[in-house]
Amino acid sequence: MDSKYCHKAWADSLGGVSYPLLADFHPKGAVGKAYGVYLEDAGIDDRATVILDKDGIVRYAVSVTPSGERDIPGLAAECEKIDQEYGAGLGDLPPIE
């Protein structure tokens, strides 16, 4: 549910990222609801990672619960795998603003 400003700061802290990030800030939780990860009682999205290919097809999804931690090396490997199988170039993506 982070805003685009939070995502930009995170991406900048990594030296930039080559993929678009989706903010679910407003309307609150709309994307989380669409992917079944919005936790209505808490009013937040679950800490989940959903990776789509260039055609918008979900190729990977995992939840670590709101208090969990993501497996960054595992996610990076999953991104590489998806890119090899389905990527074929995302084209020139605009920078996160």
What's the average pLDDT block by block, 10 residues per block, for the chain (97 residues)? 84 86 81 89 88 82 90 88 73 54
Predicted local distance difference test score (pLDDT) of residue 39: 92
Predicted local distance difference test score (pLDDT) of residue 91: 55
Q: Which residues contact 19 (CB under 8 A, 6 or more apart)?
A: 79, 90, 93
Predicted local distance difference test score (pLDDT) of residue 64: 92
Predicted local distance difference test score (pLDDT) of residue 16: 87
